Amino acid sequence: MAKVTIRDLELNGLRTLVRVDYNVPLDEKDGAYVITDDTRIRETLPTIKLLREKGARIILCAHMGRPKGKKNVKESLAPVAVRLAELSGTPVQFSEETVGPVAEAKAAALKDGEILLLENTRFHAEEEKNDPVFAAQLGKLADVYINDAFGAAHRAHASTEGVAKFVKEKGIGLLMERELKFLGDAVAHAQKPFVVILGGAKVSDKIKVIDSLLDKADTILIGGAMAYTFALALGKKVGKSLVEPDQVGTALAALDKAKAKGVKFLLPVDNYIVEEFDFAKKTVSPGRYTNPGDQIPDGWEGVDIGPETVKLWTAEIATAKTVLWNGPAGVFEVKECAKGTFAIAEAVAANREAVTIIGGGDSVKAVKRAGVADKVSFISTGGGASLEFLEGAVLPGVACIPDKA
């Protein structure tokens, strides 16, 4: 069901509380805190622009970091207000109090189209506890509640879920709308062939996603360290690759389900292997590729997919009408082990006929580092939220918004 969005709501002259994701990285420079990546702020600009056009009185709220209920200058949203003003070309007021008389007075004084940003919601321990009194205080600031923070929607916190009970009109913003369209609709009703690429470190982290996508995909390509747990389950030698022996049963069950459903389930046929690997220092000893079909010898560790796998997977990706990618094919943070992941990024970007979806987390970094971010259909802004949504979980921050009539 489609959710009510800001397009559907009458907002003229109404105080509109918008939950956004402004959890941006900050660096200290000469005693001041400087934003090092403002992507998350830029991503809210379309929603803010439309709200201003509709005459809303905009009250933005967000969390930053993990202050555990204590106010501190390092995790203040004050620098975000400055950057948002620069990016939007509009003055942005800041309330040093998140709730209470100061915030209420500032919210009440807003004129149509004006913007106020509230201080970090997590300066109150009640936020993460989804405390109803705190949620009601947030609700008191506004006539309308909009959730546009997809990256925080898997948490039932006061500003992402609880507050909705205390505001009559509710909807989602444009960013959330796009997330639901691509990670939700485009995956649930995928144009076929639907090719899914999953990678990353652990089967245990991704098994629910694998299980859910086995009901929808035509082909699943498994890379990253996850592939070695599957190889282990199939009785293959994996050397000292990162594996989860306690997930062997789970891996076998997924393989059985793939067979029963007729889903093509492909593991790497060759790998890049090394003897020494230091993740902290980002160094590896000189490596080599295994021959297609060969197992990983004792004392060696698989850290990337090999060229034959890249060739086979590129061909699969090229035939797809929908592609979903979550998780790197290897230890892409280390240059020598990043070739496979970047090749996957290139292959996904090269298929301009398909809806291509980058499902959050490290694959987003990989697509950006490969320089192909503008060649895919959609890049999810959520990490944990994207994964939970793809698992088929109901996100509290979405569930609290009504469906369209």
- Applying CB under 6 A, which of residues 38, 97, 333, 346 lies at the interface with ligand AMP? 333
Residues 273-332 that bind ligand AMP (CB under 6 A): 302-303, 327-328, 330-331
Query: What's phi and psi for 113, nearest 5 deg?
Result: 85, -5
CB nearer to ligand AMP: pick between 48 and 329: 329
CB nearer to ligand AMP: pick between 162 and 287: 287
Applying CB under 6 A, which part among 9-17, 49-57, 200-208, 244-252 lies near ligand AMP?
Answer: 200-208
Contacts for 373-381: CB closer than 8 Å, 24+ residues apart: 375/349, 375/350, 376/348, 376/349, 377/182, 378/178, 378/182, 378/186, 380/150, 380/179, 380/182, 380/183, 381/21, 381/40, 381/43, 381/150, 381/151, 381/175, 381/179
Q: Does 390 bind ligand AMP (CB under 6 A)?
A: no
Q: Does 117 bind ligand AMP (CB under 6 A)?
A: no
What 8-state DSSP symbol labels residue 7?
Answer: T
Q: In the annotation, is 202 catalytic?
A: yes
Q: In the annotation, is 361 catalytic?
A: yes
* Catalytic entry in 129, 140, 202, 369: 202
Q: In the annotation, is 224 catalytic?
A: no
Q: Considering only CA atoms, which of 194, 143, 195, 199 is closest in space to residue 171?
A: 143
Residues 140-199 that bind ligand AMP (CB under 6 A): 199
- The count of C-alpha atoms lying within 13 angstroms of the C-alpha of 249, restricted to the half-sphere facing its C-beta, is 1
Residue type for position 238:
V
Task: State the Rg of the chain over Cα.
Answer: 23
Q: Does 225 bind ligand AMP (CB under 6 A)?
A: yes
Q: In the annotation, is 287 catalytic?
A: no
- Applying CB under 6 A, which of residues 361, 382, 396, 397 lies at the interface with ligand AMP? 361
- 3-state DSSP assignment of residue 136: helix
- Applying CB under 6 A, which of residues 48, 242, 243, 344 lies at the interface with ligand AMP? 242
Q: Considering only CA atoms, which of 98, 23, 12, 22 is closest in space to residue 55?
A: 12
- The count of C-alpha atoms lying within 13 angstroms of the C-alpha of 314, restricted to the half-sphere facing its C-beta, is 17
- Applying CB under 6 A, which of residues 79, 173, 200, 268 lies at the interface with ligand AMP? 200
What 8-state DSSP symbol labels residue 301?
Answer: E
CB nearer to ligand AMP: pick between 145 and 325: 325
Question: Which residues belong to the active site?
Answer: 40, 202, 361, 384
Contacts with ligand AMP by CB under 6 A lie at 199-202, 205, 224-225, 242, 302-303, 327-328, 330-331, 333, 361-362
